[in-house]
Amino acid sequence: MIPVSIPALAFSIASCAKHVYATPLANNFPPYDPPGHGDARSACPGINALANHGWLPHNGRNITYDMLIEAVRGGFAFDLPPSVPAFANMTFHAAVSDPANIAVHPGNTTFDMDAVNTHNGPIEFDGSLSRKDGFFGDDVALDRPTWGVQWRLMEEEQEASGNTGDYFDLGVAARARARHVLIKSRAGNSEFLFTEETLSKSAGTTALYMMVLGGMTKVVKKDWLWAFFGMSQAHINFDFLFGEALY
C-alpha cells in the first residue's frame, strides 16, 4: 500500500533539505571502523555512521540523549550549544519509544542500536534506499543490491538533467528517491506500507545525507556518499563543507 504520491515524496525531500544550515564545527571525520562481532547497528544509516566513525560508542549500546546530541554536533556539525540538533532530538525519542528497546531499557533513558529496528516502527520502514523490506528478510543490514538501485537511479537522473561530474545535487537525489520507492512498492512485497508517516521518515533519510555531506552547497560528492553508507573507507573532508568561503 502506498497512499501518498511519488511527487509528494520528492517535494518533501526538497522541503526538508532546502532549509539546511550546518555550522562549521567539524573539520575532519575520524577513520571508518566497521562494526565487529557483537556490535549493534540500526536501520538508520545516520547513527550507524556516527558509531562507525567513533562519535558514538562503537558497540552501539547504552546510548544516552546527551551522547547522541554531542555525536550529532561533532560528527554532523549540526547546531552549536545551546541549540539542540533536531535530528538528534527526534531520533533519540523515536529510538527509546521502540517497543523492542522498551523491553531492554524500560526507563526510556538509553537505547541499543539493535533494539530500535521494529518493522514499520519509529525508525525502520518499508521502501528504504539502502535496506531490504522486512518482507524479504533482513531489514537492518545495508543491502548492496538495494543501494545499487538507488545509485543507478541517481546516475540516470543526473544524466537526464544534463549534469556530469562527481556530485549529485538535491534535485537528482529527490527524484531518484521517489522513483526507488515506486520500484520497491512493485517488487512483490504484498505487505508494502508507505504512509504519510513513512513519507516523513523517507524524506528525512535523503535530507540527512544532503545536510551532512552537502551543507549549504546542496550537492553531495559521490565518493563521500558512498563512504557515508559504509561502502568504502574514503575520507570525508569537512574542510570543503565548513570553510569560511561558504558563509
Residue 76: how many other CB atoms lie within 10 Å: 27
Q: C-alpha cell of 206?
A: 535523503
Is 28 within 8 Å of 200 (Cβ atoms)?
no
Is the pLDDT score of 18 beyond 70? no
* Domains, in order of start, for the chain: 39-124 (no CATH), 125-246 (1.10.489.10)
pLDDT band for position 241 (cuts 50, 70, 90) = very low
Q: pLDDT at position 64, please?
A: 98
User: Which is it for the CA torsion 20, 26, 27, 33, positive or negative?
Assistant: negative
pTM value is 0.80
Q: 73-97 pLDDT, tens per residue?
A: 888 877 666 667 888 999 999 999 9
Q: 94-140 pLDDT, tens per residue?
A: 999 999 999 999 999 999 999 999 999 999 999 999 999 999 999 99
Q: C-alpha cell of 113?
A: 542500536
> Nearest CA to 33 among 16, 50, 12?
50
In DSSP notation, 58-87 reads TT--SEEHHHHHHHHHHHH----TTS--HH
